[in-house]
Amino acid sequence: MRHKASAILLGAALAISASGAAFAQDKTVKIGVLTDNSGLYADLGGPGSTVAAQMAVEDSGLTGKGWTIDVISADHQNKPDIGATIARQWIDVEKVDVLMDVLNSGVALAVNNVVREKNSLMINSGAATSDLTGKQCSPNTVHWTYDTYMLANSTGRALVKAGGDTWFFITADYAFGQALERDTTAVVVANGGKVIGDVKHPLNTADFSSFLLQAQASKAKIIGMANAGGDTTNTIKQAAEFGIVAGGQKLAGLLLFLTDVHSLGLPVAQGLNLSSTFYWDANDQTRAFAKRFSARMKTKAMPTMVQAGVYAGLLHYFKALQALGGNPHDGTKVADKMKEIPTDDVLFGKGKIEANGRAIHPAYLFEVKKPSESKGPWDYYKLVGTTPADQAFRPVSESNCPLVKK
Amino acid sequence: MQALLAQLLVGLINGSFYALLSLGLAVIFGMLNIINFAHGAVYMMGAFCAYFLLNVMGIGYWPALIVAPIAVGIFGMILERTMIQWLAGLDHLYGLLLTFGLALIIQGVFQNYFGSSGLPYAIPPELQGGMNLGFMFLPIYRGWVVVCSLVVCFATWYLIERTSLGANLRAATENPTLVRAFGINVPRMITLTYGLGVGLAALAGVLSAPINQVRPQMGADLIIVVFAVVVIGGMGSIMGSIITGFALGVVEGLTKYFYPEASNTVVFVLMVLVLLVKPSGLTGRTT
């Protein structure tokens, strides 16, 4: 009897070590870039995110060391159900190991559940909602680039401190807009300001004049735009037309990307404040990356922070895989390893990944240059202030993420 | 009260885009029996054409108002000659599918080369600024859009309903064989009509370029609403589509004021109600 038991134990031990050896040597990785390839966010993520992922694969140098790495991409069309369906199919059928980008907060929250259920991994760069590392946090998700808490904290606080103490919000009516308005309201109120009204518009609206008239009538000092992409550019453009800024009210682009500024043109966008964790023209390394990136883009665009986040997040993922000695095809295990290793890359600098999945790094407050200050194409931002990594994002102690032990 | 007046006026401004676009659709449907799903794409091409005229050839806004609709109209006529005319006499569905496919291709090509977030186009200096009406600040450009579209709508209506050319055209759609017997070149007439409808869409595109970003998706976002306008107004009815265009702009503007979350759907709710009560649309002829 004792012999039999020890034989079983020995067999089990052998089986475990054999399977351990098997994954330790498994050097295949499949990366899925799930993004908006054709809609209003396609320029800030979209095909550029796929280019960034491919550059990360090349720059990791892993293919030279015998690794097989595939990058595939799909368009979720900004629809959570489509995003979740693609994620399921990718994980079950295509055996995708890690889902990258996943912009659009609605889609990201849906994919978050799928990834957790199937013990896969999402390195989110494009979605803004701070719920991904708050009440909906998951051991299978790393939130890389930015979130609504950081945007509210950086842009919101700076504007209230500069005297903008009454706010009116123009908000995109879905998970992202609501989270951004909620987080910014908290910052405004905490700094002694007041929110005197808001209007929620459907995603992808072309005409904002009705909403702008309401904002104008509210007489709020700051009109906060809790929307993104084409919605924000149309709001800004039409606000100029209705004389809102000329009338003394100030526009706050709570989430404004480089491609949005490019699309508006400096004459319209000049003077806007915005927060970002990455700017292509920050230093020699970011410029070198941006140049290579731009050369591969059909539109010759410079990278946004979302695309930079895909690159940096993926490089960190590769570091974790190498530290594990191979690909275990186990989302939690890789995420844990990513949290263990401090982050350090040429685009975002030094930082770390918190227990709730939040990657932290410095955040910057920029002002859009006047046309006369810009020296050439894509020379758009000047630095106003820097928030260090440990203050830019929500402290883990304030997070209501169930993963964090208090 | 002031706010309400302001919303009414803003609604009217948006309505003028709906009217211009649905007018073109109604002309094409009324004369060619084609449900032109490529209408949004040619509207977008009008805006892009204005952008290129300005940035590549240095031709400003005012000439673009003429040049862009003509250029895009010629493109439309080529489409009609090479593809759409082969579907004459077939079920509506074929025309719809062909033009829908064309729209996707055109948008895809523009998206591929110019990205999704769009290109800037400034308001011409003569029309910058605005005036204080007491109840609202009216940008001069928006006022211009309303005037311009009213004039164009009236001119088109007059051309088709009150001139001999229009009479020939209407006769040609009723009985092409007979009209041809009078020595009138019916296929050429049809081609020109399609060009006219497309040109109207392109004109709306030029008018909208300074207000909205010049984006590949700008037409796709609008086309469904415009179809609803045409259906509510009565398919093929010129006056119906003009009046419904302006009216729906106003209804949508008011919804944005009272319950903004529903502003994207209110047009379709109306469409359902109208179709239930009067399936041929408000001013449509029953066939």
| Enclosing H/E stretch for B253 | helix B238-258
**Residue B287 falls inside a structural domain:** no
Q: What is the CATH number of the domain that holds B214?
A: 1.10.3470
Distance CA B245, CA A206 (A): 16
Give yes or no for residue B137 having a pLDDT over 90. no
Q: Which of B244, B226, B251 is nearest to B281 (CA)?
A: B244
**Residue B164 falls inside a structural domain:** yes
Give yes or no for residue B99 having a pLDDT over 80. yes
Tokens (6 digits) for A391: 């203050």
Distance CA A268, CA A66 (A): 50
**Tell me, what amino acid is at A171?**
T
Residues of B in contact with A236 (CB under 8 A): none
**Residue B262 falls inside a structural domain:** yes
User: Which is it for strands A343-345 and A349-353: parallel, antiparallel or unpaired?
Assistant: antiparallel
Distance CA A328, CA A314 (A): 16
User: Domains in chain B: how many in total?
Assistant: 1
Cα-based distances in Å from B130 to A233, A266, A269, A295: 20, 21, 19, 42
What was the pLDDT predicted at B3? 77
| Enclosing H/E stretch for A172 | strand A166-172
Task: Outline where A153-265 has alpha helix (H).
Answer: 157-161, 175-190, 209-218, 229-241, 258-264
* SS3 (DSSP) at A34: strand
**Residue A81 falls inside a structural domain:** yes
Residues of A in contact with B43 (CB under 8 A): none
Q: How many CB atoms within 10 Å of residue A85? A: 14
What was the pLDDT predicted at B91? 87
Contact A259 B117 (CB under 8 A): yes
Nearest by CB to residue A263, choosing from B111, B113, B118, is B118
Do A54 and A108 lie in one domain? The reply is yes
User: Where a domain ends, among A361, A376, A401?
Assistant: A361
Residues of A in contact with B114 (CB under 8 A): 299
Q: Give, in degrees to the nearest 5, the angle at Cα B201 between B196 and B202.
A: 95
Closest chain B residue to A218 measured between Cα atoms?
B3
User: Domain range for residue A238?
Assistant: 149-276+363-387
pTM for the whole structure: 0.86
Listed range (A234-238, A323-327, B261-265) with the worst mean pLDDT: B261-265
Distance CA B105, CA B259 (A): 36
Q: How many helices (H) and strands (E) does chain B have?
A: 11, 2
User: Domains in chain A: how many in total?
Assistant: 2
**Residue A202 falls inside a structural domain:** yes
Give yes or no for residue A236 having a pLDDT over 80. yes
Distance CA A69, CA A151 (A): 34
Distance CA A40, CA B105 (A): 18
**Residue B284 falls inside a structural domain:** no
Report ipTM for this prediction.
0.85
Confidence class of residue B118 from pLDDT cuts 50, 70 and 90? confident
Question: Backbone dihedral region of A283: left (phi > 0), alpha (psi from -120 to 50 degrees) or beta?
Answer: beta
More confident residue, B236 or A113: A113
**Residue B30 falls inside a structural domain:** yes
**Residue A218 falls inside a structural domain:** yes
Do A49 and A111 lie in one domain? The reply is yes
Contact yes or no for A334/A247 (Cβ under 8 A): no
Which residues 6+ apart lie within 8 Å of A61 measured at CB? none
Distance CA A55, CA B139 (A): 46
Do A263 and A287 lie in one domain? The reply is no
Tokens (6 digits) for A95: 């055996």
Q: What is the CATH number of the domain that holds A255?
A: 3.40.50.2300
Do A165 and A237 lie in one domain? The reply is yes
Give yes or no for residue A9 having a pLDDT over 80. no
What was the pLDDT predicted at B116? 84
Which residues 6+ apart lie within 8 Å of B139 measured at CB? A241, A242, A243, B123, B129, B130
Do A190 and A326 lie in one domain? The reply is no
Per-residue buried b or exposed e for A221-256, using 16+ beta carbons within 10 Å of the residue's own CB? bbbbbbbbbbbbbbbbbbbbbbbbbeeebbbbbbbb
Which residues 6+ apart lie within 8 Å of A203 measured at CB? A40, A78, A172, A173, A174, A231
**Residue A8 falls inside a structural domain:** no
Q: How many CB atoms within 10 Å of residue A268? A: 20
Do A98 and A233 lie in one domain? The reply is no
Å from B109 to nearest chain A CA? Answer: 11
Confidence class of residue A24 from pLDDT cuts 50, 70 and 90? low
Contact A213 B261 (CB under 8 A): no
Contact B261 A200 (CB under 8 A): yes
- Please state, for a pLDDT cut of 90, what percent of chain A lies above it: 79
pLDDT in tens, A304-357: 999 999 999 999 999 999 999 999 999 999 999 999 999 999 999 999 999 999
Distance CA B197, CA B31 (A): 10
Residues of B with CB under 8 A from a CB of A: 2-3, 6-7, 10-11, 13-14, 108, 111-120, 122-123, 129-130, 136-137, 139, 141-142, 211-213, 215, 217-218, 221-222, 253, 256-257, 260-261, 263-264
Closest chain A residue to B212 measured between Cα atoms?
A234
**Residue A104 falls inside a structural domain:** yes
**Residue B106 falls inside a structural domain:** no
Contact B130 A243 (CB under 8 A): yes
Do A222 and A357 lie in one domain? The reply is no
**Residue A183 falls inside a structural domain:** yes
**Residue A199 falls inside a structural domain:** yes
The overall longest dimension of chain A from CA atoms, in Å, is: 90
Do A133 and A90 lie in one domain? The reply is yes
Task: Outline where A219-300 has alpha helix (H).
Answer: 229-241, 258-264, 266-269, 284-296
Q: Which DSSP string corresponds to A3-23?
A: HHHHHHHHHHHHHHHHHHHHH
Name the average pLDDT for chain A.
Answer: 91
Per 3-state DSSP, chain B is made up of helix, strand and coil in percentages (nearest 5) of 75, 5, 20
pLDDT in tens, B166-211: 898 888 888 888 888 988 888 898 999 999 999 999 999 999 999 8
What was the pLDDT predicted at B245? 93
Per-residue buried b or exposed e for B228-255, using 16+ beta carbons within 10 Å of the residue's own CB? bbbbbbbbbbbbbbbbbbbbbbbbbbbb
Nearest by CB to residue B213, choosing from A42, A234, A241, is A234
Give yes or no for residue A19 having a pLDDT over 80. no
Give yes or no for residue A1 having a pLDDT over 50. no
* SS3 (DSSP) at A143: strand
What was the pLDDT predicted at A18? 46
Do A132 and A159 lie in one domain? The reply is no
Give yes or no for residue A6 having a pLDDT over 60. no
Give yes or no for residue A367 having a pLDDT over 90. yes
Contact yes or no for A238/A266 (Cβ under 8 A): no
Residues of B in contact with A178 (CB under 8 A): none
Distance CA A246, CA A213 (A): 14
What was the pLDDT predicted at A118? 96
Q: Is the dihedral of CA A105, A107, A109, A115 positive or negative?
A: negative
User: Which is it for strands A28-35 and A273-276: parallel, antiparallel or unpaired?
Assistant: unpaired
Do A243 and A380 lie in one domain? The reply is yes
User: Domain range for residue B1?
Assistant: 1-88+114-277
Q: How many CB atoms within 10 Å of residue A150? A: 25
Cα-based distances in Å from B244 to A92, A273, B220, B280: 50, 41, 20, 14
**Residue B207 falls inside a structural domain:** yes
Q: How many CB atoms within 10 Å of residue B208? A: 27
**Residue A23 falls inside a structural domain:** no
**Residue B216 falls inside a structural domain:** yes
Inter-chain CB pairs, A–B, below 8 Å: 121
Residue identified by tokens 């999704």 is: B116
Q: Which DSSP string corresponds to B56-78?
A: TS---HHHHHHHHHHHHHHHHHH
